[in-house]
Amino acid sequence: MNSWESRADEYSFYGFTDLPSVAQRGAVVLTHGEGPYIFDTHGRQYLDGNSGLWNMVAGFDHPGLTEAAKAQYDRFPGYHAFFGRMSDQTVMLSEKLIEVSPFERGKVFYTNSGSEANDTLVKMLWFLAGSEGQPQRRKIITRWNSYHGVTAVSASMTGKPYNSVFGLPLPGFIQVGSPHYWRMGHEGESEEQFVQRLARELEATIIKEGPDTIAGFFAEPVIGAGGVIPAPKGYFQAVQAVLQRYGIPLVADEVITGFGRTGNLWGCQTYEFVPDAIISSKALTAGYFPMGAVILGPDLTDRLQAAAEAIEEFPHGFTASGHPVGCAIALKAIDLVVNEGLLENVRRLTPKFEAGLEYLSQNPNIGEWRGKGLMGALEAVQDKATKTPFPGNLSVSERIANTCTDHGLICRPLGQSIVLCPPFICTEAHLDEMFGKLEEALKKVFAEVA
């Protein structure tokens, strides 16, 4: 009972964890990281093909980030952003976020996570609707299989059936169709026809619910925790046209895609649309500090400012909002992506990353590979021709991920898919190692279950 694994099991209540796997295998207790590798209490080394949880884009021991944190802790270790008081680092980060955003101007509100940022923007939209004499504008539209967080509100936005165990979603949270063409497209339907059908379904939903009851539409440029589902060509243009007809804000949830993951600084730039607001977290601090941000475009900035001035405040915030250490780290993380080569490395590695996914998709039990930039997925199927998934009780993706762990690779099972999102500091040799180990795991597990 004195092992690290038994101690973890005795005192830790696991979240988003396959409990049968932990019961059988034990937890993996980690001690440190070097570059894209992590090490456990037994000295075993793992290439982390998931960048922690999409966020450790600069690896696990970047000296520039740790030095920025240390220097700020020495200078001013903590403060809030209430009552018109905030650190100089907070001011500098807000300036930088608007500078690198797709907006010509705007304002930033800080949280501690992407979940809280989504929750905050929903409150902002409700606050705005009430202040503008439309208190009935409460409904929030997202997509099936999307992921927006774990607070009661952001979990209600998340289009995942597991939230039913909490009695969620709350009333007024509506999901429309997922833009997963391979899985959701009709037989004989082109990708363009699929996009137009989704746009028609969105408009029909808006009309059915009442256009004047909708507060906003939230969408990830690439659905992340739904299994890496890139938007089809023209999707956001078609959706935004519908939303603009009814005066409904489009919010880009860039918690995963922001700061380089798709090959551009923002996922909305990859898909060539400008949203009304952006939700940011994860790579914002390269995972070195918990932080989220609501980045408002010009229209929402002006309207929310007017609404707040009318009652002399915006009554919302968090004790650690705009934390000076987090802001100092974020400033350095953005500099690494923009000026020190991380974004260029994502672009350089993307063709090799996509080629690796495409090669593995030739396996008869891989139905589809999909991805954008340095985020990708392989979807396991029992029958490739019919796209029939494996029975759920076989836990195929979990078995693949566990086998990868046994061979020194961390990857993530999501539904029937295996997801990869390596750190931006990876080399071609790291990708070769990642795909080599994954190929061996696929062969082993499919031999057992196919």
pLDDT of 324: 98
Q: Are 359 and 225 in a shared domain?
A: no
- DSSP state, residue 266: S
3's CB contacts (< 8 A; 6+ apart) are 26
Token pair recorded at residue 232: 């089809």
Q: Are 177 and 268 in a shared domain?
A: yes
Query: What pLDDT, on the 0 to 100 scale, is given for residue 450?
Result: 76
pLDDT tens for the chain, residues 1 to 450: 689 999 999 999 999 999 999 999 999 999 999 999 999 999 999 999 999 999 999 999 999 999 999 999 999 999 999 999 999 999 999 999 999 999 999 999 999 999 999 999 999 999 999 999 999 999 999 999 999 999 999 999 998 999 999 999 999 999 999 999 999 999 999 999 999 999 999 999 999 999 999 999 999 999 999 999 999 999 999 999 999 999 999 999 999 999 999 999 999 999 999 999 999 999 999 999 999 999 999 999 999 999 999 999 999 999 999 999 999 999 999 999 999 999 999 999 999 999 999 999 999 999 999 999 999 999 999 999 999 999 999 999 999 999 999 999 999 999 999 999 999 999 999 999 999 999 999 999 999 997
Nearest to 123 by CA among 295, 284, 274, 314: 314
> Angle 63-75/324-339 helices, nearest 10 degrees?
150
Task: Judge if 281 and 418 occupy the same domain.
Answer: no
Residues 22 and 121 in one domain: no
Do 173 and 278 sit in the same domain of this protein?
Answer: yes
pLDDT at residue 103, as a whole number: 98
Nearest CA-CA partner of 375 in 276, 272, 283, 238: 283
Please tell me the pTM assigned to this model: 0.96
16 and 40 share one domain: yes
- Domain end call among 298, 324, 339: 339
What are the tens digits of pLDDT across the range 169-178?
999 999 999 9
**Residue where a domain stops, chosen among 276, 304, 339:** 339
- Same domain? For 302 and 424 the reply is no
Could you tell me the two tokens for 144?
A: 């099936």
CA dist 310 and 304 (Å) reads 10
Among candidate residues 412, 410, 377, 421, the one with its CA nearest the CA of residue 262: 421
349 lies in the same domain as 362:
yes
Task: Indicate if 214 and 286 belong to the same structural domain.
Answer: yes
Domain end (from 313, 339, 365): 339
DSSP 249-262: -EEEE-TTTTTTTT
Nearest to 127 by CA among 321, 314, 319: 314
Q: How far apart are alpha carbons 375 and 54 in whole angstroms?
A: 9
For residues 26 and 119, membership in a common domain is answered with no
Per-residue pLDDT tens over the stretch 18-64: 999 999 999 999 999 999 999 999 999 999 999 999 999 999 999 99
Domain span at residue 186 reads: 66-339
- What's the CATH code of the domain at 23? 3.90.1150.10
Report the alpha-carbon distance of residue 300 to residue 90 in Å, rounded. 21
Structural domains of the chain, count: 2
Residues 40 and 127 in one domain: no
The CATH number covering residue 112 comes to 3.40.640.10
Quick one: pLDDT at residue 368? 97
For 190, other C-beta atoms within 10 Å of its C-beta total 12
DSSP for 1-54? Answer: --SHHHHHHHH---SS--HHHHHHH----EEEEETTEEEETT--EEEETTHHHH
Angle at which helix 298-311 crosses helix 114-131, to 10 degrees, equals: 70
> Which one, of 103, 417, 166, 374, lies nearest residue 263 by Cα?
374
- In terms of domains, do 197 and 163 share one? yes
